[in-house]
Structure 1
Amino acid sequence: MARRRGPRGPDRRHGNPLLAPAVVRFQEVAPRESVGGDDRKEAAARTSCPARALQLPAAPAAPRLRPGCQDAAMAAAAVAAPEVLRECGCKGTRTCLICERQRGGDPPWQHPPQKTHQFIYYADTGWAVGAEESDFEGWAFPFPGVTLIEDFVTPAEEAEMVRLMDRDPWKLSQSGRRKQDYGPKVNFRKQKLKTAGFRGLPSFSREVVRRMGLYPVLEDFRPVEQCNLDYCPERGSAIDPHLDDSWLWGERLVSLNLLAPTVLSMSREAPGSLLLCLAPSGLPQAPAEGAPAPGRAVPCREVEVAVPLPRRALLVLTRAARHQWKHAIHRRHIGARRVSATFRELSAEFGPGGRQRELGQELLQTSLSFQGRPT
């Protein structure tokens, strides 16, 4: 298999990459060359920063994502968006700084302790490597199913997207988050959904979705839902470890990280152990299947893999990273306002030949009309 080209991983001179995600460099995935219309050449023209070479033409009915020379001012305005911190949307065992302060006293909701063994994901190799000064420093295991595309949008596009999001109301959500949903109303427990009120993805996402299709990993990706989440350190925003539904949502989960770098923490509650091998200097390319002969093992339940996410990067989760490893954003990794836009595609049940293919086609047509408002 041809080795993917990309910059080296985190500078290991920094004691703990978890505390400095902003200095991490990531693999660049080159898009396929657009030829006009729906035609695409199979050969991909690789550039050092593919997203920057793409222009954002205004769609017929979509607000234009403006390029310009006021990137810094626009980005600062987006980060400093005003908000009211008097209420929260927490329910059950979920809490945020607001409701914790209101309750006072000794918190009965103690947050789960950090996993015993920390590993860092290196995007340019596909390996998870033991953190420095840990019991497993120098040991590693392949971690498939994670793709990071750095600088997917420009600073001006980022600021304009957040500005357009902030024009619509944000709803309070669990664990100190706020959200905006563009998708059908779904009852995952009963496996039912309602299309009433769903008018599609927002108009400003038209170009984002088109650009996704320029990358091989996403060339046939057609999202039917977009969920915007707003994280704020003053609210103690976080999201607990979870697996996304697989009845309605398909193989790929795609998320655009805006305004601030953060860390995606991945964990697995499966029994058994992960087999490790020594990670030589420079780290070899991870094999497509399997791993070299193991030399050590660690219980799955004690492992957490940190995937540093830079600002303006696009994350794609597939395979084991999508279906076996839970993902989370810990409170300690939110140091400034962060906005994410997560896009989801339909499962096979709603695709061609699936049991609910007609409903799936209806959802796709609505979604890709790009006339949506938050539901």
Structure 2
Amino acid sequence: MAGTTRICGCKGYRFCVECENAFAKEFVNLSTSLPPVDRVYEYCIKCKKAWPVETTLDVSLCPSHSGTPVEIEGIHIQESFLTDEESRKLLKGCDSIEWSQSQSGRRKQNFGPKTNFKEKKLKIGNFKGFPTVFKWVHKKIKEVKILEDYKVIENCSLEYRPETGAYIDKHIDDCWVWGERIVTINILGDSYLTLTKYEGSHDKYNLKYVDFKSKHSVANNVAIRLPMPVNSLMVLYGEARYIWEHAVTRSDINNRRVCIALREFTSWFLDGSNEVANEVLRKAKEYYPIEQRFEA
């Protein structure tokens, strides 16, 4: 599959519906779902605990959920972070910018520095700041206490559509360049983020740069589903950021979903000693108008 030429954005073992239709034999043994687990939990936004479920969690029953819950540190979900009017405004802004093909059936709009996680290289690339359509939401996140000092240096809009078979593989965001707080703003479509505990080498994801140990004892072979309702803000940090991989499965994309992922620098890029990082931080304070382009 490495040598397979594809016109979509997929590479290697990542695939979408178009890949499956064109190269059915190559992708027959691959899955867009997570491996089987012993138990599935769903996180309750109200009580901030994850409860065992067979289908979906009834939040209205809180605090009288059934079963024994598990807890993990580092999850902040704020419902109605955006108003309906704000989400429409943000979606209109995203759709005024050209979408690029990404992997696994997704489309993206990426604004930030050029990074090479494997070789640990950071370049300014063509980064010149952010489109003005994002300025107000970058300011709005600072109203959230745990994000008061957040310095956005990457803004990535992501689109998932069921007709393209969109999903994202389980992963941990790189730990060499991206800071502790991983921010997602869900502006169209309800969905879930699924967590599974990572048990691999600390060389992967550059986890060796992080000295972090879990505060809670949760069995390895479980999945924890985090609700991502429309208009919500999600922040992963600490244990949820570094101990658990996160994924969006194809089965959780039932309609068009659009979200914005924001990233900050790790602490060693904020001390003023790295000239490229300093330039990125300067550029990240700039906003520029874009040529309007609305899709039908």
Does the 8 Å contact 1:201/1:224 carry over to 2? no
User: Aligned partners of 1:95, 1:220: CA distance in 2, in Å?
Assistant: 38
Residue 132 of structure 1, CA deviation: 4.4
Partner of 2:105 in structure 1? 176
1:99 to 11, 19, 28: 19
User: Aligned partners of 1:225, 1:252: CA distance in 2, in Å?
Assistant: 12
Partner of 2:242 in structure 1? 323
Partner of 1:237 in structure 2? 166
Residue 270 of structure 1, CA deviation: 2.7
TM-score (norm 2): 0.82
Partner of 1:45 in structure 2? none
Residue 324 of structure 1, CA deviation: 1.0
TM-score (norm 1): 0.65
Pair 1:259 & 2:188 matched: yes
Partner of 2:45 in structure 1? 123
Residue 87 of structure 1, CA deviation: 5.0
Structural mapping, 1:211-230, within 5 Å: 211-230=140-159
Pair 1:370 & 2:287 matched: yes
Residue 147 of structure 1, CA deviation: 0.4
Structural mapping, 1:40-59, within 5 Å: none
User: Aligned partners of 1:117, 1:171: CA distance in 2, in Å?
Assistant: 37
Question: Match of 1:213, SS?
Answer: helix
Partner of 2:136 in structure 1? 207
1:153 to 72, 82, 99: 82
Give the AA of the match of 2:13: T
RMSD: 2.5
Does the 8 Å contact 1:95/1:175 carry over to 2? yes
User: Aligned partners of 2:290, 2:74: CA distance in 1, in Å?
Assistant: 31
Does the 8 Å contact 2:73/2:215 carry over to 1? no
Once the two structures are superposed, residues 13-52 of structure 1 have per-residue CA deviations (whole angstroms, 9 ceiling, x without a partner) of xxxxxxxxxxxxxxxxxxxxxxxxxxxxxxxxxxxxxxxx
Bigger Rg, which one: 1
Once the two structures are superposed, residues 277-307 of structure 1 have per-residue CA deviations (whole angstroms, 9 ceiling, x without a partner) of xxxxxxxxxxxx956xxxxx8740x110000
Partner of 1:82 in structure 2? none
Partner of 1:74 in structure 2? none
Does the 8 Å contact 2:162/2:253 carry over to 1? yes
1:337 to 256, 273, 278: 256
User: Aligned partners of 1:307, 1:368: CA distance in 2, in Å?
Assistant: 32
User: Aligned partners of 1:253, 1:133: CA distance in 2, in Å?
Assistant: 27
User: Aligned partners of 2:145, 2:218: CA distance in 1, in Å?
Assistant: 34
User: Aligned partners of 2:177, 2:46: CA distance in 1, in Å?
Assistant: 31
Give the AA of the match of 1:260: G
Does the 8 Å contact 2:129/2:284 carry over to 1? yes
The answer for unaligned runs of 5 or more in structure 1 is 1-85, 272-288, 292-296
Question: Match of 2:139, SS?
Answer: helix
Query: Higher relative CO (CA 8 A, sep ≥ 6), structure 1 or 2?
Result: 2
User: Aligned partners of 1:264, 1:256: CA distance in 2, in Å?
Assistant: 12
Q: How many residues align?
A: 262
Question: Match of 2:281, SS?
Answer: helix
Pair 1:361 & 2:283 matched: no
Does the 8 Å contact 2:70/2:218 carry over to 1? no
Residue 114 of structure 1, CA deviation: 3.7
User: Aligned partners of 2:290, 2:110: CA distance in 1, in Å?
Assistant: 8
Give the AA of the match of 2:48: G
Give the AA of the match of 1:163: K
